[in-house]
Amino acid sequence: MTKAIIKTDQAPAAIGTYSQAVKVGTAVYLSGQIPLVPATMTVISEDFTEQTHQVFKNLVAVCEAAGGSIQDMVKVNIFLTDLSNFATVNEVMSQYFTTPYPARAAIGVSALPRAVQIEIDGIMELPSTN
């Protein structure tokens, strides 16, 4: 199968040796998004809720660039520097997803790039090849 590299200026540019997403068939593998504002490549703020919203906005942009929507995500991995923020993640996530929700994992980590508090990656399954 051919793989297609997904890239959009509506999400932060890759800051390393990776692509924003890679599409193979109808599966799209999304790289981790952190709360960077695409236009400035700076962290949105120190506020956890604002960081979480920015991460989801970035994921929405990559999903749309791949020809789908965030609702097409089937697996989400959430990396948190403080697991006590998980209730906030649930609250924010409910504003971006409707049922059926994707499968999900929440992982506590000691640190994330640029000292942010949250990173999310995942897998999206498109309804058909585009």
Q: Evaluate whether residue 66 is within a structural domain.
A: yes
- CATH of residue 27's domain is 3.30.1330.40
- Is it true that the peptide bond before 100 is cis, omega within 30 degrees of 0? yes
Residue 49 lies in a domain: yes
Query: In this structure, is residue 36 part of a structural domain?
Result: yes
Per-residue pLDDT of the chain (130 residues; tens, 9 = 90+): 799 999 999 999 998 999 999 999 999 999 999 999 999 999 999 999 999 999 999 999 999 999 999 999 999 999 999 999 999 999 999 999 999 999 999 999 999 999 999 999 999 999 875 4
Structural domain total, the chain? 1
The boundaries of the domain holding residue 46 are: 3-125
38 close to 62: Cβ distance less than 8 angstroms: no
Residue 55 falls inside a structural domain: yes
Let me know if residue 81 belongs to a domain: yes
Task: Specify the residue for token string 């403080």.
Answer: 82
User: What tokens appear for 24 in the block?
Assistant: 């193979």
Residue 63, CA distances (Å) to 40, 47, 109, 124 in order = 21, 25, 25, 8
